[in-house]
Amino acid sequence: MNLVWLRNDLRLEDNPALYHATAEGDTCCVYTITPGQWQQHNDATAKIAFWRQRLIKLSHELSLKHIPLRICLLSSYEDCAPALLSLSQKLGVTHLFYNREYPLNEKSRDQSVEALFAKQGIAVKSYHGDVVLPPGTVRTQQNAIYKVFTPFSRQWHKQVSNTALQVLPAPNKQKTMPCQSDDIEHLWLIPAAEEAEWTNNGFRDDLWPTDSQKIHERLSLFCQLKLGSYKTQRDIPSIHGTSTLSPYLAMGAISVRQCIHAARHHDAGWVEQQWVTELVWREFYRHLTDQFPQLSQSKNFIHFPHDIQWDNSTDRFEAWCRGETGFPIVDAAMKQLVKTGWMHNRLRMITAAFLTKLLLIDWRKGEAFFMEHLVDGDYASNNGGWQWASSTGADSAPYFRIFNPQRQSERFDPEGIFIKKFIPSLVDLPKKSIHSPTSEERASCGYPEPIIDYKLARERAITVFATAMGKTK
Ligand SMILES: Cc1cc2nc3c(=O)[nH]c(=O)nc-3n(C[C@H](O)[C@H](O)[C@H](O)COP(=O)(O)OP(=O)(O)OC[C@H]3O[C@@H](n4cnc5c(N)ncnc54)[C@H](O)[C@@H]3O)c2cc1C
């Protein structure tokens, strides 16, 4: 019997581990539930509830193929190796199959499983199902790992253009069910969500459906209707101009290859597509996470000769978390995050830059808060995004280029449509003051005064970063 260990690959199609296992013999799947570990990783309750719901759907999809899904209810990653071995011995498993994950804790977990299985003579096969090109295979002419995005992307495109991008089919139906499935719904309960607007499932299932069919429809509709205008619309948060596929890519309900394949199908000029470039950013951060373990250890990617003197004011951090900084675009974005479990990319950049530069709060605090709320929380992309915004990462924003929230707001939400959606108390403000209301307007709307003076905060950030870098301003 073959055992497929499902993790962030909750799909039937283009799942290399599942495809190869079923092609080679009778197969059963297993999923390890590790709430203690997820808590340590700050995973959002909404994300866990969302994954659970997807797993219930996947279990049904697998059963139609006569592939059972077993569940191991554990605490942490350390429990995985003995639990998987015990299940394997019970089922008479001869081969274990899985798709790789790249953060350090996941890699250490997998290494201990491999070591234990090797001792017991059970073969283990692993695949790269979460990326187009395996980490480490996109290299400079000097055989080094790229630390800068643009040349990485150029080389990535070169390698991908020359290969037939293979998207694997769903597994064939097995003749019979080789063993019983476990009942996820009763085995794995989720604490009730605190956010009143969320449904009983613990996440916004009106926004994030978990049926395969609906997920694929989302990709196909995006490619048909929005791919062409993506480049011009992707930065406007009031427009539904991006794919909103990130939660599905993070859990692997859809693969990056399926996305690229769909873009290729809909647009002959796919190589130049801005959307594909965004998928390459995802790939870039995965490659860096795999190749530079310090990224999984909460360390800055670049070396600063002196410590960055973070301010770390608790009051200001909490005002940012609550969406009460007095900067409407920042506050509306933070409310979008907490209410929906998702935030538009432009707003992630604005809020992260606001926290790390203008408030001078350590990026790790923002990174953790995002993970605690995002349904698409993904270690590599979140860490990459935060280190980009805080100028501590590979190919990050230069420390002296500091987003002005008011200018960003005027440029990307000119009519204040997005702001008014998430801060209804500002709905009657005229266009000229929506980005920065007067004191009288703030008082009449019950909206707070700005918690910082932009110009002074900007000067302070430049001085602090220049000092950490050992430069005079
Ligand atoms: C501070 C910060 C934190 C972030 N945290 C996460 C996170 O936890 N999980 C996550 O998936 N993305 C994260 N991102 C990246 C990006 O904001 C989201 O992927 C994007 O907003 C998702 O919306 P979409 O699916 O409509 O993207 P689209 O614009 O349709 O892009 C398609 C896909 O490409 C990938 N992608 C797009 N932009 C980026 C990017 N800048 N970096 C990496 N991948 C990208 C995503 O998988 C996305 O679904 C973060 C960005 C920043 C600046």
Q: Mind listing the pLDDT tens digit for each residue in 46-57?
A: 999 999 999 999
Ligand 1: residue of 238, 286, 344, 381 to mutate (most ligand atoms within 8 A of CB) is 381
Q: Which residues pair with 96 in a beta bridge?
A: 3, 124
Q: Is 101 a catalytic residue?
A: no
Rounded to an integer, what distance in angstroms lies between the CA atom of residue 441 and that of residue 461?
A: 29
Task: Quote the ligand 1 centre to 350 CA distance (angstroms).
Answer: 14
CA–centroid distance, residue 246 to ligand 1 (Å): 6
Retrieve residue 29's tokens.
Answer: 């799947």
Quote the pLDDT of residue 187: 85
Q: Is 188 a catalytic residue?
A: no
415 is catalytic: no
Query: Taking Cα atoms as reference points, which of 86, 56, 35 lies closest to residue 183?
Result: 56
Residues near ligand 1 (Cβ within 6 A):
234, 242-246, 249-250, 278-279, 281-282, 285, 344-345, 348-349, 352, 370, 374, 376-378, 381-382, 384-386, 389
Whose Cα sits closest to atom 30 in ligand 1? Answer: 243
What tens digit of pLDDT does each residue of 160-202 get?
987 788 899 999 999 999 999 999 888 887 766 555 455 656 7
Q: Is 363 a catalytic residue?
A: yes
Given the residues 78, 345, 372, 441, select the one marked as catalytic: 345
Amino acid at residue number 215: I
Distance (Å) from CA 302 to ligand 1 centroid: 22
Domains of the chain: residue spans and CATH? 2-129 (3.40.50.620), 131-165+212-291 (1.25.40.80), 314-468 (1.10.579.10)
Distance 345 CA to ligand 1 centre (A): 6
Separation CA 129–CA 8 (nearest Å):
9
Q: Which of 408, 452, 470, 447 is nearest to 311 (CA)?
A: 452
431 alpha carbon – ligand 1 mean position (Å)? 29
pTM for the predicted model, two decimal places: 0.97
From the list 61, 114, 310, 324, the catalytic residue is 310
pLDDT (0 to 100) of residue 185: 86
Q: What is the pLDDT along the chain (473 residues), one digit of tens a residue?
A: 999 999 999 999 999 999 999 999 999 999 999 999 999 999 999 999 999 999 999 999 999 999 999 999 999 999 999 999 999 999 999 999 999 999 999 999 999 999 999 999 999 999 999 999 999 999 999 999 999 999 999 999 999 987 788 899 999 999 999 999 999 888 887 766 555 455 656 778 889 999 999 999 999 999 999 999 999 999 999 999 999 999 999 999 999 999 999 999 888 788 789 999 999 999 999 999 999 999 999 999 999 999 999 998 999 999 999 999 999 999 999 999 999 999 999 999 999 999 999 999 999 999 999 999 999 999 999 999 999 999 999 998 899 999 999 999 999 999 999 999 999 999 999 999 999 999 999 999 999 999 999 999 999 999 999 999 998 65
Q: Tokens representing 263?
A: 């873009």
Determine which one of 208, 275, 281, 320 is catalytic.
281
Positive/negative CA dihedral, 315, 319, 321, 327 = negative
